[in-house]
Structure 1
Amino acid sequence: IGADCKEMEDYYGDECFMTRNGEKVVAGSRKFLDFRNRKVRDYLTETVDMLVRLGVNYIKFDYNQDVGAGTETDSISLGDGLTRQSEAYLCWVKSIMDKYPDLIIEACSSGGQRMDYKTLSLHPLVSTSDQTDYKKYPHIAANILSAVLPEQAAVWSYPVNSPYEINAQREESAESANARIDEEQVVTNMVNSMLGRMHLASAVHLLNERKRNLIKEGIRCFDSLSAAKKIAVPYFPLGFSDFYGDHAAAGLISKNTLYLAVWNLNGNREIGVPIPEYKVKNLRLVYPSEETEPIGADGGRALYSFEEHLLKFTLPKGYTARFFAADIEKIDGEKRKNKNG
């Protein structure tokens, strides 16, 4: 609860809070409830009941503060208290999901602290980050499938990042937004969310028709991947993305198709992606289509080709991305060994 919310603090009582050194745990502007206390669980259950009665079917459980080492309340150590409290919280979440099986509860990754598999097993989806900078999100999007199912990994697509401070009570003009945001920024935002679960946001209504059409095309592409994602496995042909790297690539393999997102992060335009375990049969640009693909100020656009075990890409300059598909054939391990000598 809010650290200065005297009304709720009085309602709960001291026994309902996590404590250390005899004081309530405070982080930022918040104090932390202890879900081992029935009064805490009952109040929040009643709150969810009310929301469901009002027709709410989607709730985000946000969590932007760190409780620290734990709580000494009813425990033999701080870590023991934190473990027991966390277990009580997750049991409460399960009770809510059992009570309302059609309710979607989005978990917060909390900087990765809540991406354990117990938490993930109880929530239909998890927010992978609050990041809205399309230049930084590729490093998250390219790695997240190592921990989270694609249909569970909520990724922001945020084409119109605000030029103003957070909570500024003003909106940019359409003229200003279109002058500031080019088509490549729109495309990269859409590619960022293609492998996970797209959360499209921002003031997209400010964009001109061509840019809005790129968003619509991206949504159609994303929707077309739903069936493939259910049986797909992640693929990291360049390994995990380095935050300071010039390129990134990550994909999903579904049956005999590799869906691959490729990012140029202001590096060399040419990117080689080896896939030694597979033989490439063909390679095609999926998003944006060749008909709608932006042409850079230098006349550059994406080029791509393939050899038997190598995908080659040339992306436009700057921070750009494309989404590809390749038909592939798994190479027998013994054959690959013999071929490599």
Structure 2
Amino acid sequence: MKRIAINENGIHMVFEVRRDKVRLVHFSALPLDENTLVRQGEKDLYFPSEIQVTGRNRPSNWHGAKIVETSPGYEMKYLDFRDSRNDTGRKLEWETVHEETGLHLTMHYQFYDGIPVVRSWTEVTNCGTEAQGLEALSSFCLMGLGKEGLIRPDRKLRLSVPHHSWKREMHWNRYSFSDLGLTLTAGSDPEAESTQVFSVSNTGNWSTKEYLPMAYLEDTEAGVSLYWQIEHNGSWHWEISDYEGQYYLELGGPDELHNHWWKQLMPGETFVSVPACIGVETAGMDRAMAALTEYRRRIRRPNRDNEQLSVIFNDYMNCLSGDPTTQKELEMIPKAREAGCEYFVVDCGWYADGAWWDGVGEWRPSEKRFPGGFKEVMDAIRDAGMIPGAWLELEVMGVNCPLAKQLSDSWFFMRHGRRVCDKGRYQLDFRNAEVRDYAERVIDRMVNEYGVGYIKMDYNIEPGTGTDQQADSTGQGLLEHNRAYLAWIDHIFEKYPELIIENCSSGGMRTDYAMLARHSLQSTSDQTDYRQYATLAANAPAAVTPEQAAVWSYPLTDGDEEETIFNMVNAMLLRIHQSGHLVNLSPARFALVKEGIACYKSIRQDIRRAVPFWPLGLSSYGDSWVSLGLKAGNKNYIAVWRSDSGNDTCLLPISHLRGKDASVKCLYPQNAACRCAWHKESGELAVELPVNISARLFEVSANE
């Protein structure tokens, strides 16, 4: 037996090569305890990868819907190991081979210097003489979850899952394994296993319509945790189940069983799985999310927007709501500038005289809405000292768009000989070079003809499993489209490096780090109730870096000063997307908007390097108190929302400041009713908000 032990950035990995097979026997923040390993004679445990090929036998019983002990996955034999370094950090590569099929599998593990995470993906090449049908290919596999300590894993493991839905994004729930139906069935039989699987999947082009592609697993006895994210903008899948008396985790992109994906791998052809990030921690969820924040910054495209954190005004939410005209915009532009906004975005509706939903696709300004031309409004924005922006939805074409009737079916997703249609739109297929050229020409016109420096790129349909046109399966057609779209976006950013493109999909329906490794901004929600937005805003940094999380602030025309403050606090630790009818606000309420934006500008250089923490834990909708903290050096910015609470006082634990002298002040608004105090010994910030529905932003600075 050959063993290779890795200790890198606080990650302990142990590989073994036994009977010519590679096994990942340990991946943790703690060193390996030999007594925790399960040895079962000739049994092959601790599979580092899974690959299922059509027609291959899976030998054991009771697999059910599990992706475990796949074939030829369990038969792959060791071929080579490479240990190197690159600009990112250490890189491990394990190569295995299956002689009968000729499949060569390479497992990639990329470390990131100073961060306790690994990026993992799998590459398979058909070196044989016959085509092989791929049904599943993992990105990362780990067996032996919860093996540290003495308590049975099913009694101590806790899984936190981020549920995600339109207008109800980023809602985390914490489950015991009993809650999930994952209680071990072994009893006195160590080889017994269940058919129960807890799996989280997405099928379709809205990558986060039900869940974020991430989770957090805690061992409450050993005090260690595992966390992960899958980085793909389409279909993906992860699962936890038991095998031979142990729990395993499998992460991957689409597969045949769950996502209608099947790939015919021809001789000489290579296929690469979607990437996944896996991290370890001993200090709880706040630290895990801080590490994930740093990792997300490391993999993101360098761009000026995430350095500057410019303030954006968008005319949609609780404002023009898709009904822009020259007159309305010219009234709003100077007010947005006076408030301190730096970008001004004309949202949907600018391209149609009236109803437009099922007619989009030509992207020409309405002469009725803009009789002096769309450029008149864009120029007025620039003359006011702001950069203009506009809304687009380039991945779809309305069923009543004249252009759609002229184009061949090769432009669109097809299933069973028909164009895929959803909500009055066809899905464009970015595998088609003509589609990519068409979309690029629209961008060229927006930038060069109208002077646009910001595009809100929306996407409002779900085309389902994919397209079967020129594809081995609908899932493979979708995967190829997803990757073609990413390559197109990369090209656009290379062509226009200063252009900001906001990632929006009915708000947050594609909050994934395939998209966010490229886009500088993510729309977090279409939520129209500012009170509900508090929970969403507080939880957002678990899903996306603070400087990428665009949050609406939309003071209501008939609101009051506390409502205005609440709206501003929602956005002030993230990215301000200002909206609302600013021209209709009273002078006092407009002054609060202006003060909030000025305050934001004074701290935004800290936000871009800060990491999140949650004094009250991640929020649930309906919580009476909500809080989000950002730690930037010795400064801690803490947003606090009181939401329908009968108690006007709240204690906020800040564990990393316990026992330290600190100064505290209400940062925004400066002249509003509230009190605060720092309790050094307990490490708690006490705040008093006398008004029931209210919010404040505090600064707690540790004294050096």
- Is the TM-score greater than 0.5? yes
Superposition deviation, residue 21 in structure 1: 2.9
- Structure number with the higher helix fraction is 1
The 3 A distance-change label for structure 1 pair 41 and 192 is same
Aligned to 1:212: 590
Superposition deviation, residue 329 in structure 1: 6.8
Alignment match of 1:106 (pick from 483, 502, 505): 502
5 Å-filtered alignment, 1:55-94, equals: 55-94=451-490
Alignment match of 1:324 (pick from 667, 677, 698): 698
Q: Is this contact kept in 2: 1:304–1:312, CA < 8 A?
A: yes
Could you list the runs of 4 or more consecutive aligned residues of structure 1 that deviate by over 6 angstroms after TM superposition? none
Query: Could you give the per-residue CA deviations for residues 164-200 of structure 1, whole angstroms, max 9, x where no partner exists?
Result: xxxxxxxxxxxxx4xx311000000000000111011
Q: Is this contact kept in 1: 2:508–2:522, CA < 8 A?
A: no
The 3 A distance-change label for structure 1 pair 153 and 6 is closer
5 Å-filtered alignment, 1:210-249, equals: 210-249=588-627
Aligned to 1:298: none
5 Å-filtered alignment, 1:27-42, equals: 27-42=422-437
Distance 2:401 2:511 in 1: 32
Aligned to 2:689: 315
CA-atom RMSD, angstroms?
A: 1.7
Answer yes or no: is 1:51 the counterpart of 2:425.
no
Aligned to 1:20: 415
Distance 1:220 1:38 in 2: 45
When normalised by structure 2's length, the TM-score is 0.42
Aligned to 2:211: none
Instruction: In structure 2, give the amino acid aligned to 1:302.
Output: C
Q: Is this contact kept in 1: 2:530–2:567, CA < 8 A?
A: yes
Distance 2:664 2:606 in 1: 17
Query: Could you give the per-residue CA deviations for residues 240-262 of structure 1, whole angstroms, max 9, x where no partner exists?
Result: 11012111100210001110000
Alignment match of 1:123 (pick from 513, 519, 527): 519
Which has the larger displacement, 183-192 or 12-21?
A: 12-21
Superposition deviation, residue 11 in structure 1: 3.3
Distance 2:415 2:690 in 1: 54
The 3 A distance-change label for structure 1 pair 316 and 71 is farther
Distance 1:141 1:318 in 2: 19
Aligned to 1:287: 668
Q: Is this contact kept in 2: 1:3–1:26, CA < 8 A?
A: no
The 3 A distance-change label for structure 1 pair 6 and 115 is closer
Distance 1:230 1:61 in 2: 23
Aligned to 1:303: 675
Query: Could you give the per-residue CA deviations for residues 140-169 of structure 1, whole angstroms, max 9, x where no partner exists?
Result: 110111121222111111002xxxxxxxxx
Superposition deviation, residue 235 in structure 1: 1.2
Superposition deviation, residue 42 in structure 1: 0.6
Instruction: In structure 2, give the amino acid aligned to 1:234.
Output: P
Alignment match of 1:252 (pick from 626, 630, 644): 630
SS of equivalent residue, structure 1 residue 260:
strand
The 3 A distance-change label for structure 1 pair 198 and 62 is same
Q: Is this contact kept in 1: 2:663–2:703, CA < 8 A?
A: no
5 Å-filtered alignment, 1:84-233, equals: 84-110=480-506, 112-160=508-556, 177=557, 180-233=558-611
Q: Is this contact kept in 2: 1:16–1:39, CA < 8 A?
A: yes
Q: Is this contact kept in 2: 1:156–1:201, CA < 8 A?
A: yes
Instruction: In structure 2, give the amino acid aligned to 1:32.
Output: Q
Distance 2:399 2:414 in 1: 16
Q: Is this contact kept in 2: 1:12–1:40, CA < 8 A?
A: no
Aligned to 2:653: 274
Superposition deviation, residue 218 in structure 1: 0.3
SS of equivalent residue, structure 1 residue 188:
helix
Distance 1:247 1:154 in 2: 22
Aligned to 1:164: none
SS of equivalent residue, structure 1 residue 122:
coil
Distance 1:190 1:122 in 2: 27
Superposition deviation, residue 316 in structure 1: 2.6
**Uncovered stretches (5+) of structure 1, i.e. residues with no partner:** 161-176, 294-300, 331-341
Distance 1:193 1:285 in 2: 16
Instruction: In structure 1, give the amino acid aligned to 2:598.
Output: R
SS of equivalent residue, structure 1 residue 186:
helix
Superposition deviation, residue 109 in structure 1: 4.5
Q: What percent of counterpart residues are identical?
A: 41
Q: Is this contact kept in 2: 1:188–1:320, CA < 8 A?
A: yes
Count of residue pairs the alignment pairs up? 303
SS of equivalent residue, structure 1 residue 143:
helix
Distance 1:74 1:270 in 2: 62
Query: Could you give the per-residue CA deviations for residues 292-311 of structure 1, whole angstroms, max 9, x where no partner exists?
Result: 31xxxxxxx32211212011
Distance 1:109 1:28 in 2: 14
Which has the larger displacement, 250-259 or 51-60?
A: 51-60
Distance 1:72 1:303 in 2: 62
Query: Could you give the per-residue CA deviations for residues 95-145 of structure 1, whole angstroms, max 9, x where no partner exists?
Result: 001001111111115454311111001112111112232111111110111
SS of equivalent residue, structure 1 residue 244:
coil
Which has the larger displacement, 10-19 or 181-190?
A: 10-19
Superposition deviation, residue 274 in structure 1: 0.8
SS of equivalent residue, structure 1 residue 90:
helix
Q: Greater Rg, structure 1 or structure 2? A: 2
